[in-house]
Amino acid sequence: MKIKELIVVEGKTDLTFLKSFLDADIVITNGSEVSHETLEYIKEANKHQGVIILTDPDYPGLRIRNIITEYIGDCKHAYVERSKAIKGKKLGVAEASKQEIIRALQNVVTYKKQNTTNIKESDLYDLGLIGKKDSKEKRNKVCEYYHLGWCNAKTFLKRVNMFGLKIEQIKEIIK
């Protein structure tokens, strides 16, 4: 599979795994302390070929996404499902199957820098997406449908607004 965008991953095992079946330019961040040089490289690549961030579905992966997005602005995000990225006690891109990586790359999302909707925390509470026993399952259902990646309540609120989702769209998924 050929990918024109630069793919950003966390480490060497991710790079090696992806190179085994993808024809793509790939850069590693070497963990969550992304260097200024790496950020500049990613920013320049985004101008010319675009960037897809594909990090592990955990807190350090989210931190890396936030650092890069804050630095370079709009870019694409591909998310592997957390439940499909586990081998033994390890969680990450390199632990996912080739099919899961391809699925994630075929369902990239681009967030808008400015919030396009104004969904509030109280709206999420009213819909049972926070503060209820089954809130996590409901959020996961919306995240899977829209390929938003793993989200806690705070991240979910941020992503649905950045993605421009409307209350009606969310209601339809959690019915």
Domains and CATH numbers, the chain: 1-110 (3.40.1360.10), 115-175 (no CATH)
pLDDT of residue 162: 81
Q: What is the pLDDT along the chain (175 residues), one digit of tens a residue?
A: 999 999 999 999 999 999 999 999 999 999 888 999 999 999 999 999 999 999 999 999 999 998 999 899 889 999 999 999 999 999 999 999 999 999 999 999 887 655 556 899 999 999 999 999 999 999 999 999 988 888 889 989 988 888 888 999 999 999 8
**What pLDDT, on the 0 to 100 scale, is given for residue 10?**
96
Q: What is the pLDDT of residue 142?
A: 93
3-state secondary structure the chain: CECCCEEEECCHHHHHHHHCCCECCEEECCCCCCCHHHHHHHHHHHHHCCEEECCCCCHHHHHHHHHHHHHHCCCEECCCCHHHCEECCEECHHHCCHHHHHHHHHCCEECCCCCCCCCCHHHHHHCCCCCCCCHHHHHHHHHHHHCCCCCCHHHHHHHHHHHCCCHHHHHHHHC
pLDDT reported for residue 170 = 94
pLDDT of residue 115: 52
